[in-house]
A and B are shown apart, each in its own frame.
Chain A
Amino acid sequence: MAAKSNLKNMVLSLTLVCLVCSGLLGVVYSLTAEPIRKAEEAKVNASIARVLPEGTGAPELESTVVDGITYSYYTVPGAGYAVISTVGGFGGPLSLMVGIGADGKVVNTVVLSHSETPGLGAKCTTDEPFIEQFQGWDPAVKRLAVLKDGGDVDAITASTITSRAYAKAIENAVKVYSKLMENE
């Protein structure tokens, strides 16, 4: 069984254990840092490829401020802009990547992260009719708000708040796009 405690061996054993553990963690951290970076990069690139499939060159990360909020976006050569837009959803932040083509139309959208209710709001990542209605969406013609609020977005059944947030995120992305166009 365990050794008898005194101040010296208590301090010594805790220090030793912490030193060994932090050393080990340091080694593993440096070993996994590269694969983690690659995995994240692969995820971003896969998202960009989905929202702007026609992109030809390497996307470039930039950021801009619209209405006091900082947005990150990727300039994709030959295709347009992929804007990362985060709004408050039902269960927490809802983060989308919105691809907007050179003609100002939404090409496609991808959910980057969300904490919506499984089986309800979480359907915003899988519900095909819902996601597909935004492909080719022209913000100049159709309003980005759910039908209930007088817009043109067909909401997910029983998930109006999530659908509203999704539409809002795209609307914000469109604002970012308009600002980028003004500056050009």
Chain B
Amino acid sequence: MSKLGLITKGFLKENPTFVLVLGMCPTLATTTSAMNGLEMGLATMFVLILSNIVISLISPVVPDKVHIPVYIVVIATFVTLLQLIMQAYTPDAYETLGLFIPLIVVNCIVLGRAEAFASKNSVGDSALDGIGIGLGFTVTLTIIGIVREILGSGSVFGWKFIPGDGILAFVMAPGAFLVLGYLMVLFNKLAKR
């Protein structure tokens, strides 16, 4: 696969949210606004790229039977690093995302890419795969966040253009499922062409 293809597949063919349907928990929970979706996507991308690089480096020497624990330790380390850095330099983002930052450890996307791609491919390709899937995840979460913010609060990235309260359900969990479902249908319909 071409280098460019490694990055673009994260948007279309292997879009983590709409095609692979991985990492649904943070997807549904953190996309209450465009900004939250974007921040969550970037946080996940950071962990994904670094863990992909390290896992592709160490996978040839890791014994088969302990490879999952080793990968989890590596991923958990990067997540904790991220948590400390966010707490120190972006305390506001850290507060809004809260619990969902530590939960990146068990995000299926990260372990899934480690297993399915990074452990079998070169370091460079694994890094590109991390960037591609990470960007795909970020863009998708931002889109879901934008739709939910428009419908639920009448604003985009905190910029309010519809006065009033909006449709409250879209800020809460039922709206997350509705928006995700309709966007998934739309995406797969367009992607099939």
Main SS of the interface on chain B? helix
Q: Scoring A residues 15 to 52 as 1 if CB is less than 8 Å from chain B, else 0, what string do you get?
A: 00110010011001100100110011001000000000
Contact (Cβ within 8 A) B172 A1: no
Q: Which residues of B contact A4 (CB under 8 A)?
A: 63-64
Q: Which residues of B contact A24 (CB under 8 A)?
A: 77, 81
Complex formed: what's the CA distance from A18 to B67 in Å? 13
- Closest Cβ of chain A to B144, distance in Å, is 15
Q: Which of A1, A118, A119 has the most CB of B within 10 A?
A: A119
Contact (Cβ within 8 A) A13 B66: yes
- Closest Cβ of chain B to A15, distance in Å, is 11
Which partner residue on chain A sits nearest B84 by CB separation? A32
Complex formed: what's the CA distance from A115 to B54 in Å? 36
Given A35-B89, A118-B32, A17 and B73 touching (CB < 8 A)? Answer: yes
- Closest Cβ of chain B to A14, distance in Å, is 6
Q: Which of A2, A3, A10, A25 has the most CB of B within 10 A?
A: A2
Q: Which residues of B contact A35 (CB under 8 A)?
A: 88-89
Interface size on B, residues (CB 8 A): 35
Interface size on A, residues (CB 8 A): 28
Given A3-B60, A35-B89, A13 and B152 touching (CB < 8 A)? Answer: no
- Point out the residue from A6, A17, A29, A120 that lies within 8 Å of B74, measured CB to CB: A17
- Closest Cβ of chain B to A116, distance in Å, is 12
Contact (Cβ within 8 A) B168 A120: yes
Contact (Cβ within 8 A) A25 B87: no
Contact (Cβ within 8 A) A36 B84: yes
Complex formed: what's the CA distance from A39 to B119 in Å? 38
Which partner residue on chain B sits nearest A29 by CB separation? B84
Contact (Cβ within 8 A) B64 A3: yes
Contact (Cβ within 8 A) A2 B84: no
Given A13-B62, A17-B74, A24-B77, A2 and B119 touching (CB < 8 A)? Answer: yes
Given A14-B69, A21-B77, A117-B172, A9 and B85 touching (CB < 8 A)? Answer: no
Contact (Cβ within 8 A) B63 A10: yes
Contact (Cβ within 8 A) A119 B171: yes
Given A2-B67, A13-B66, A39-B91, A18 and B61 touching (CB < 8 A)? Answer: no
- Closest Cβ of chain A to B26, distance in Å, is 16
Q: Which residues of A contact B61 (CB under 8 A)?
A: 3, 13
- Closest Cβ of chain A to B3, distance in Å, is 23
Complex formed: what's the CA distance from A25 to B165 in Å? 44
Complex formed: what's the CA distance from A2 to B67 in Å? 8
Complex formed: what's the CA distance from A128 to B120 in Å? 56
Complex formed: what's the CA distance from A24 to B80 in Å? 10
Contact (Cβ within 8 A) B32 A18: no
The 4 A-B pairs of least Cβ separation, nearest first, read A35-B88, A5-B63, A5-B65, A21-B77
